[in-house]
Amino acid sequence: MPVTGYENRLRPAQPPTPAADAFEIHRAEVAPGLSLAYVREGVGGYPLLLIHGYPETKRVWWRNIEPLVAAGYEVIVPDLRGHGDSDLSADDTYDLVTYSRDLHTLVHDVLGHERCGVVGGDVGGVVAVDMANRFEGFVEGLCFFDTVPPLLFDDFAAAGIDVANLTAISDGPTGDYRHRQGAEPDVLAAELSTPAHRRAYIATMYGPRLWASPGTFSRDDIDFMTEPWSEEARLRAGWAVYQLAHGRQAEEWPILDRKVDLPTLLFYGADDNVVGADFMHCCEVVFTNRVGPLVLAGAGHFLQWERADVFNPTVAVFFAGLKALPGVAPEAGR
């Protein structure tokens, strides 16, 4: 059960949200004819890649960018292909490995970083693990939260976890969106026939669906988060990963079949109604070199926004510790 009773009046004030146009938006081609939009602040610091999920864009990191830059990081915040301000895929290619390769191209080939730290939740967390496994030596450390961990069923069962009832593979009482977006996207898209309808659908995930802890997103916040989702093509791009469980083809499958030995900081939002608390127990098995899981009261699925007051300094200290380890020099990312 989610932790309840963490009333708004008891929740510490969060860092102010920068204006929508607070950061310069850059663009870079990462595949033939396809460019990603991204924020890049604090150039010269240790590179830290922040990867959003669904129903998110780079905007979900708006409260994290400036504090992490102030802590000495070069903060790189892209929109995944088809999301936010990034280009749509002309051939409808949207899958986890494609996202992983896009981001590696951006950070490694375009921006010139041999190594970096990676932070990701939801879809972004799965992409982060694939990057760590796929591009040896590129990811020096992870921050991973509120998503599907590598599903090592035999190891989970050996640890006493009830594999048959994992929330990661069960729609549960709030998971109808997975089925609808995955199995009947055409029907759902027809129901969401106007920009207002599409934004209202996304707004439910920041409000009455209780993905977030109640009261952590104001009406203005929700407007800010939903604006990029007004186009049908972008909504469908966001649904694509859910269709992989319903017959959508991918050229490659993510590398999620092994334990992760990299230093990893784990968070879990206590009020998350999307990812159940078994996430924590699974992560204790998967991540062999971990800090946490740290449970954040007063936060749900979007904890980097909801409890930025805790998230920002903890992430900053964790990656600073990695930089201090032998063999990880401050300039290692460049």
Calpha distance 224→79 (Å, rounded) = 15
pLDDT digits (tens, 9 = 90+) for 58-104: 999 999 999 999 999 999 999 999 999 999 999 999 999 999 999 99
pLDDT tens per residue, range 149-165: 999 999 999 999 988 88
Domain-wise residue ranges, the chain = 8-170+253-323
Q: In three state form, how does the secondary structure of 108-122 look?
A: HHHCCCCCEEEEEEC
What order do you get walking across the sheet with 264-269 strand by strand? 25-31, 34-41, 73-78, 46-51, 116-121, 139-145, 264-269, 290-296
- Encode pLDDT of 234-265 as tens digits: 999 999 999 998 989 888 999 999 999 999 99
Query: Reduced to 3 states, what is the DSSP secondary structure of residue 100?
Result: helix
Report which DSSP code applies to 145: E
What pLDDT does 1 receive? 42
Q: Does domain 8-170+253-323 have CATH number 1.10.1200.10?
A: no
CA 53 to chain centre: 4
Q: Which two tokens stand for residue 20?
A: 């929508």
**Number of other CB atoms surrounding residue 321 within 10 Å:** 14
- Can you give the pTM of this predicted structure? 0.93
Contact by Cβ (8 Å): 86, 57: no
Distance CA 303, CA 277 (A): 14
